[in-house]
Structure 1
Amino acid sequence: MKKLSIVVPCYNEEEALGLFYPAVKKVVDELKLLTEYWFINDGSSDQTLAKLKKLHQQNPDQVHYLSFSRNFGKEAAMYAGLKAAEGDYVVIMDADLQDPPSFLPKMVALLETGDWDCVGTRRVDRTGEKKYRAWLSEGFYKLINRISDTQIVPNARDFRMMTRKMVNAVLSMKEYSRFSKGIFSWVGFKTKFLEYHNVERVAGETSWSTWQLFKYAFAGIADFSLLPLNIAVWIGSVSFISAVLGIIFVVVRHIINPSLAIVGWASVVCIILLIGGLQLLCIGIIGRYIGKIYLQVKDRPIYIVDEKA
């Protein structure tokens, strides 16, 4: 009999866990599959770990957990869960029930046909979210799909079920800076997407601020596109050519009319400040990529486990 592993990253989800587990278990128990749950406590500051310990005590054969030594982020939690999972099929779900458990039977059925290696989900709307966040998200997907060779499905969720073959491929990518939506697309494999309308959290509040989402989006662009570096090259090239043309103009003017007074110091200062600002911008972009290389070559672990059961 095949086995299904359910990976659930958790950060301050004490309120949602009591609703999540019964809802998922009710659906999963109807499937003709062995089942294991891997809850990843990502350094929660509430009673999430205590809730997970209680769930494990109630069902030690099925429910397992990893508890990080601190908060390493959702990407690290998903990676840890995929490493721990032993199932033939592995599904990633959020604990807030924004990922409908009712999709699980259909996901399993699609994978068992052998036609698909992954069944993902995507939202067709963002009802309940702030309009500006929905607008920023839409803009991000349009931008990254224009500048990257790896195409990412707009509004795709981390909620997806994968075969063991695809999970192993994802785990083979051991990069420190992880952008899973890009990784899932980069590894390839045949993927079917199920669409649904946005579902609001059943309890608690999201831990993702607008600033965190912005940083996550920039990390995704840096991980899967070289366009920012190319922009730095273009800016440097234009500035250099403009400077050369300016020097030629000054020399020619001096030859034609040596007595011409030198004027325009204010504009010269503005140009110097502009070019200096562009140089700092380019250095910052390059530094961002160098920083990623620095973190990778240090070979630090993506996460540290404090407790496991």
Structure 2
Amino acid sequence: MPLLSAVVPCFNEEDSLPLFLSELDKVCKKMRDEWPDLSFEAVLVDDGSSDGTLTIMRNAVSNAEYGFHVRWISFSRNFGKEAALYAGLRHSHGDYVATLDADMQDPPSLLPQMYSILQTEDYDNVATRRQDRKGEPPIRSWFAHRFYNLINHISNADIVDGARDFRLMKRPMVDAVLSMCEYNRFSKGIYGWVGFKTKWISYENVDRVAGNTKWSFLKLFAYALDGIVAFSTAPLVLASLIGVLLCVVAFVLVIFIVVRTLMFGDPVAGWPSLICAITFIGGAQLLSVGILGQYLAKTYLETKRRPIYIVRLSSEPENNAQK
């Protein structure tokens, strides 16, 4: 019997998780009517929540009315959504694996359509994207569009504008994603980098059913920088070009100053322009050092080989280990 796993990262989702599980139950029972041999499991990942999320997960295991088997793991602290997604994929057993959020912004009702596509068409995964960013602050939407345009131009990772983490993958693609066990993870880039044939479907933006978003503008900005550093060396090339350009400018200025001094004998004039040049060069140097620092910091974190996450508790005791 084919198994479909739903990987659900959760961080302080005690208000939305019961609604999500109820909706997923309806979808699974509907899918079983159409595909009687299909079974389901939900892999719930508690990313160090401080509310009652873990209690809801524990109770879900004993709920015999659900049309899916529930398994859960709980981290020792908050490791972030990327770590939670990776952990969920590692603990999933399905021939097909879906990743979706518990806040219902990734509608489980799309799963039948996504599964049908994988059964009838030659694709390895079905991914989702938002048709628009309705309800999102304009400045945040503007920066998001610029980020997608930028990273697609400077990297070889194919990332669709408006792409969500909500997708349904066949097991070979899941195994390929898991083979990339890097510490600094950027899933949207990883999905594009591993390749495989992807079918994109669009849907209108959906608001959270409960609670507040955990992603502030600064967190999203830092996440975008992580994605650029993880999948592109263009910033390093930019730093090198700045250095070459400044060397050329400095050489031209030296010739200009020498000629001007020989012709006019006035080497002191131009103090304001000198200060501007020093400030500009100093800023460019700091920018270049900062870019190098970002890559060095990521390399440092990778070489320490710390676990991506640590499991504190699990519905399966044998999984209570570092990963």
TM normalised by structure 1 equals: 0.96
* Residue of structure 1 in register with 2:159 after alignment: 152
Q: Secondary structure at the match of 2:182?
A: coil
1:156-195 correspondence runs (5 A): 156-195=163-202
1:204-215 correspondence runs (5 A): 204-215=211-222
C-alpha distance in 2 between matches for 1:255 and 1:127: 65
Report how many residues are paired.
308
Contact kept in structure 1, 2:261 and 2:267, CA below 8 Å:
no
C-alpha distance in 2 between matches for 1:280 and 1:118: 43
* Residue of structure 2 in register with 1:46 after alignment: 51
The AA in structure 2 aligned to 1:294 is Y
Q: Secondary structure at the match of 1:106?
A: helix
Pairwise CA RMSD: 1.4
C-alpha distance in 2 between matches for 1:128 and 1:290: 38
Percent identity between matched residues is 52
Whether 1:218 and 2:225 are equivalent positions in the alignment is yes
The AA in structure 1 aligned to 2:224 is A
Bigger Cα displacement from structure 2, 3-12 vs 104-113: 104-113
Q: Secondary structure at the match of 1:166?
A: helix
The AA in structure 2 aligned to 1:34 is S
* Residue of structure 2 in register with 1:139 after alignment: 146
| CA deviation after TM superposition for structure 1 residue 133, in Å | 1.5
| CA deviation after TM superposition for structure 1 residue 114, in Å | 5.3
Picking from 259, 264, 282, the partner of 1:276 is 282
C-alpha distance in 1 between matches for 2:153 and 2:100: 29
Picking from 202, 205, 215, the partner of 1:198 is 205
The AA in structure 2 aligned to 1:241 is V
Contact kept in structure 1, 2:103 and 2:210, CA below 8 Å:
yes
Whether 1:98 and 2:109 are equivalent positions in the alignment is no
Structure 2 unpaired stretches of 5+? 316-323
Picking from 71, 74, 82, the partner of 1:75 is 82
Whether 1:110 and 2:95 are equivalent positions in the alignment is no
Structure 1 unpaired stretches of 5+? none
Picking from 243, 250, 253, the partner of 1:243 is 250
TM normalised by structure 2 equals: 0.92
| CA deviation after TM superposition for structure 1 residue 58, in Å | 2.3
| CA deviation after TM superposition for structure 1 residue 37, in Å | 0.7
C-alpha distance in 2 between matches for 1:261 and 1:68: 66
* Deviation string, structure 1 residues 124-156 (Cα, Å, up to 9, x no partner): 011222222122211211111122222211101
Q: Secondary structure at the match of 1:58?
A: coil
| CA deviation after TM superposition for structure 1 residue 256, in Å | 3.8
Picking from 59, 63, 68, the partner of 1:58 is 63
Q: Secondary structure at the match of 1:63?
A: strand
C-alpha distance in 2 between matches for 1:101 and 1:178: 25
Q: Secondary structure at the match of 1:182?
A: helix
* Residue of structure 1 in register with 2:40 after alignment: 35
Q: 1:196–1:246: structure 2 CA closer, same or farther, 3 Å change rule?
A: same
* Residue of structure 2 in register with 1:308 after alignment: 314
The AA in structure 1 aligned to 2:178 is L
Q: 1:86–1:252: structure 2 CA closer, same or farther, 3 Å change rule?
A: same
Q: Secondary structure at the match of 1:83?
A: helix
Q: Secondary structure at the match of 2:78?
A: coil
C-alpha distance in 2 between matches for 1:276 and 1:165: 50
